[in-house]
Amino acid sequence: MEKITTERLVLRPWEDSDVDFVYDLYSRWVVQRFIGTEPRVMESLAEAAERVRRFQAIEHPVHGIWAVTRKTDGLAVGTLLLKPIPASGEEPLTASDDVEIGWHFHPDHWGNGYASEAATAVLEHAFEGGLDHVVAVTNPANEASQSVCRRIGMEHKGQSKKYYNATCELFEVENPATAKNTAAASISGGVAL
């Protein structure tokens, strides 16, 4: 997984020494309350270590789960995800063909624009990597996350039950390169007619 650098942040692979941060992040109800169909907080460092191992296990040229760190001092501030999204269906859910972007930030670092800055860079990486669109889903009550979707240019598609066996607000953004080609094709098609 490649490192991604933005103006204020470095998105890097997870390290074993991140376990304490992962526990601090995911043991908080304010972070977990809108994540998953039955939200629950992380309860042990062992669970955090297992989570870090799962984050590290993703080996893919484009998908990834990054530790978001601050450029100035290396402090971990959150998680940025780009991965296949599970389709609704029989449990255990299996991945759909769509790729989702997601973000989990430590409340000490909300309100700085870090999630939007990191997500913008990951979207760019996704499109350079050839994805033609990316989706995001949020709990309907998760306004902070819906604001991130809008800030990074995702379009609200209304509510959907397509993913995670849950009713979610669905956001989507197309790869501008692919979208432009489609527009150009239809314009030149129009001219030819």
Ligand X SMILES: CC(C)(COP(=O)(O)OP(=O)(O)OC[C@H]1O[C@@H](n2cnc3c(N)ncnc32)[C@H](O)[C@@H]1OP(=O)(O)O)[C@@H](O)C(=O)NCCC(=O)NCCS
Where does this chain bind ligand X (CB under 6 A)?
A: 31, 34-35, 102-105, 110-116, 138, 142, 144-145, 148, 151
Nearer to ligand X by C-beta: 40 or 180?
40
Place of tokens 């998680």: 79
Q: Pull the structure tokens for residue 181.
A: 């080609």
β-bridge partners, 135: 100, 172
Phi, psi of 14 (to 5 degrees): -70, 145
Q: How far is the CB of 187 from ligand X (least distance, A)?
A: 34
Within the chain, residue ranges assigned H as helices are: 19-26, 29-32, 45-57, 114-128, 143-151, 176-192
> Nearest approach, Cβ of 144 to ligand X (angstroms)?
4
- The residue nearest ligand X at its CB is 113
Q: Compute the distance between CA of residue 130 and CA of residue 177 in angstroms, rounded to an integer.
A: 9
**What DSSP assignment string belongs to 165-193?**
TS-EEEEEEE-HHHHHHHHHHHHHHHHH-
- Shortest reach from residue 71's CB to ligand X, in Å: 13
* Shortest distance in whole angstroms from residue 169 CB to ligand X: 9
The nearer residue to ligand X, 49 or 110, going by C-beta atoms, is: 110
Q: With respect to ligand X, which residue has the nearer C-beta, 46 or 141?
A: 141
User: 127 vs 164, which CB is nearer to ligand X?
Assistant: 164
Rounded least distance, CB 90 to ligand X, Å: 23
Give yes or no for a contact between 101 and 123, defined as CB atoms under 8 angstroms apart: yes
Minimum CB distance to ligand X smaller for 102 or for 127: 102
